[in-house]
Amino acid sequence: MQNVIPRRKKTVREIDVQGKRVLVRADFNVPLDEEGAIADDTRIRASLPTIRYLCERGARVILCSHLDRPKGEIVERLRLALVANRLSELLDQPVVALRDCIGPEVESAVAAMNDGDIILLENLRFHSEERADDSPFAERLAGLADVYVNDAFGASHRAHASVVGVPQHLPAVTGLLLEREVSAFTRILEKPERPFAAVIGGAKVSDKLEVLDNVISRVNLLLIGGGMAATFLASRGYQTGASRVETDRLDDVRRIEANAGRRGVRLILPRDVVVAERLEAGAPTRVVSATEIPDGWIIADIGPGAADEFSRELGNVRTVVWNGPMGVFEIPEFAEGTRRVAAALANLRGTTVIGGGSTTDAVQRFGLADEMTHVSTGGGAALTMLAGKALPGVEALDDAETP
């Protein structure tokens, strides 16, 4: 087993920010609708505690973030002005959106700031140097500020210039959101209240293999759902219809099951599944035993019997981490299994951690996010921590002083 984060990092609460220029790496990579408007402002709202904390203490706040994947080119619909407008509404104070993230105009705007002011730099990924972790680019960003604060959990698994390059040039600390995210995952992986369960779903085993290898050494119960269940079923010799089976991962799955058996971990697969002719709304569906999936049909969700069993099992644990939906929940016909698991966690008298990405989308869609102990803002970063690996963006920050 690996330690998720071996050393405690200094936080924004441990430094003096009065009158300082503070560069905050936020995660404003929000989804946009077809008209280019913000479809979900969860990540923007999650950044507010750190921004307010800095403003209340007289910092000059310089926000930076990426949005989507413009691949080093200026894409008008991906400018961060729309984020600045939303921040202005939520903070009830002006947030000035700049048209670039480096250069003379940016430097002039920063020089004109007063204590408590907020500016937002333009989309970092308009510069290809951001993803390349280009040292001169990182140095130019760092030159805008006196202090660096990483509050972008959702980007901290990336070794990009604004994430790992800038901390080489400035005092660098965690923001309140990043601190909370890291603490939530560290606590459940290192010191969970038991029984401890993991619910792992999603489309592919290969996406979660490192997570499965790590959590199997920590949990008492492992529940498997989603499309990845097909590979587990196939590893036991069952027919899986037209469901996608990762044949190159069958030995890995058998190894995980054997490891679970040696450790006394109960690994439960769906006893029944909802299958469909196509993963589309309105497609014909059936509920069948997971061991009797007909030819040509695809697993689209766990079945009602599996949902009953998963809910009953989860009612007996004290800590749960969930990553990956139980089915194609975006389509109503295939959403019930994911909804049932979310409802079971919402009613749990214990600690519930939702591992970002589509799992976070699901609990929000079902209106249950507020019932969870922690709902992560970062899918890839959450997977990295669940795999027992350190986050580059956290490792780059200053260590806390030892007492």
Q: What's the pLDDT at 401?
A: 85
Answer positive or negative: Cα dihedral of 182, 380, 389, 171. negative
Give residue-wise pLDDT tens across range 239-288.
999 999 999 999 999 999 999 999 999 999 999 999 999 999 999 999 99
Length of the chain counted residue by residue: 403
Angle at 344 between CA 338 and CA 346, to 5 degrees: 100
Q: Is 269 helix (H, G, I), strand (E, B) or coil?
A: coil
- With a pLDDT cut of 90, the percent of the chain lying above it is 97
**Token pair of 316, please?**
């007996």
Pick the CATH number of 12-179 from 3.40.50.1260, 2.160.10.10, 3.30.160.100, 3.40.980.10: 3.40.50.1260
What pTM was estimated for this model as a whole?
0.94
Residue tagged active-site, from 8, 52, 204, 286: 204
pLDDT class of 79 with cuts at 50, 70, 90: very high
Read off the pLDDT of each residue in 72-89 and give the average, rounded to a whole number.
98
The residue type found at 62 is I
- Per DSSP (E only), the strands in 334-378 are 351-354, 374-375
Give residue-wise pLDDT tens across range 293-313.
999 999 999 999 999 999 999
Is pLDDT above 90 for 50? yes
Domain residues of the chain, as ranges?
Answer: 12-179, 192-386
Residue tagged active-site, from 9, 20, 25, 43: 43
Whole-angstrom distance, CA of residue 375 vs CA of residue 352: 8
Is pLDDT above 70 for 396? yes
- Is 116 an annotated catalytic residue? no
- Is 380 an annotated catalytic residue? yes
Whole-angstrom distance, CA of residue 278 vs CA of residue 263: 38
Q: DSSP state, 162?
A: I
The residue type found at 346 is A
Q: What's the pLDDT at 295?
A: 97
Tell me: cis bond preceding 195? Omega within 30 of 0 counts. Answer: yes
> Dihedral of the CA atoms 311, 312, 316, 319 (nearest 10)?
-10
Give residue-wise pLDDT tens across range 373-395.
999 999 999 999 999 999 999 99
Residue tagged active-site, from 357, 378, 388, 393: 357
Common-topology check for domains 12-179 and 192-386: yes
Beta strands at 221-224 and 266-268: parallel, antiparallel or unpaired: parallel
Whole-angstrom distance, CA of residue 200 vs CA of residue 282: 27
Fold annotation for 192-386: Rossmann fold (3.40.50)
- Is 77 an annotated catalytic residue? no
- Is 218 an annotated catalytic residue? no
Please report, in range form, the residues annotated as the binding site.
27-29, 43, 66-69, 125, 158, 208, 330
Could you count the other beta carbons within 10 Å of the beta carbon of residue 309?
17
Please report, in range form, the residues annotated as the binding site for substrate.
27-29, 43, 66-69, 125, 158
**Token pair of 105, please?**
């105009």
Please report, in range form, the residues annotated as the binding site for ATP.
208, 330
Is pLDDT above 60 for 142? yes
Could you count the other beta carbons within 10 Å of the beta carbon of residue 65?
28
**Token pair of 280, please?**
């589309």
CA distances from 343 to 229, 268, 339 (A): 21, 19, 6
Contact 111, 140 (CB under 8 A): no
Q: What's the pLDDT at 7?
A: 78
Whole-angstrom distance, CA of residue 53 vs CA of residue 116: 10
Whole-angstrom distance, CA of residue 207 vs CA of residue 98: 37
- With a pLDDT cut of 70, the percent of the chain lying above it is 98
Residue tagged active-site, from 116, 143, 305, 380: 380
Q: What's the pLDDT at 403?
A: 63
Give residue-wise pLDDT tens across range 2-35.
444 457 999 999 999 999 999 999 999 999 999 9
